[in-house]
Amino acid sequence: MEKIKIILNEFLKDGKKAVFLAVGSELRGDDAAGIAAAGELVKENLPNGFKVMLGYTAPENLTGEIKKFAPSHLIICDAADSGLNPGEISVISTDDIQGAAFSTHMMPMNVFINYISKDNPLKTLIIGIQPENLEFGAEMSESVKTAAVNLSKIIFQAVVNSKI
């Protein structure tokens, strides 16, 4: 978690406005990892320059809202199989997402990012939480729940530190 803390603080240090975009399906167990992190974040007293958006399985539906807000920074959080232990968090380079399969959404993430940043260049960070169980109807595993809560705390602190 210390590495994620450092990465987030560095990523947001020059931020003007930022969006946390949660992706995933609440119907598929750990696929809701990003949604769970968003749920924790909205409990905090977030600054006006930081928005939490729920993209669920169709984050492309929020492109207009994201473009209108015109963030300088975008954090995308999703369950992502990175070959780690369940609940481990990884940062996924935008260069590494060509053809990468993220949970259940349809639009390739690189296409989504390119479209969002076309008129308003922004920095993007993709955070993946390693799922344990993506079965339809499954409950979220404890390791992923814990990771989502811990990640939300780290993001909130990074936002506070950045003075967004």
pLDDT in tens, 114-163: 888 888 899 999 999 999 999 999 999 999 999 999 999 999 999 999 99
pLDDT tens for 67-118 read 999 999 999 999 999 899 999 999 987 766 654 444 445 577 888 888 888 8
Residue with tokens 């967004």: 164
pLDDT tens for 154-163 read 999 999 999 9
Backbone angles phi, psi at 141, to 5 degrees: -70, 155
Q: In the chain, what's the furthest Cα-to-Cα distance?
A: 41
* Per-residue confidence (pLDDT) for residue 106, from 0 to 100: 59
Task: Please enumerate in sequence order all residues whose Cβ is within 8 A of that of 141, keeping only pairs 6 or more positions apart, or say none.
Answer: 29, 30, 86, 87, 131, 132, 133
* Per-residue confidence (pLDDT) for residue 110, from 0 to 100: 82
Answer yes or no: are the C-beta atoms of 37 and 56 closer than 8 Å.
no
pLDDT at 9 over 60: yes
pLDDT tens for 19-75 read 999 999 999 999 999 999 999 999 999 999 999 999 999 999 999 999 999 999 999
β 89-92/50-56 pair status: unpaired
How many residues would you count in the chain? 164
Answer yes or no: are the C-beta atoms of 57 and 109 closer than 8 Å.
no
Q: Which two tokens stand for residue 153?
A: 């705390």
- pTM assigned to the model: 0.92
* Per-residue confidence (pLDDT) for residue 1, from 0 to 100: 85
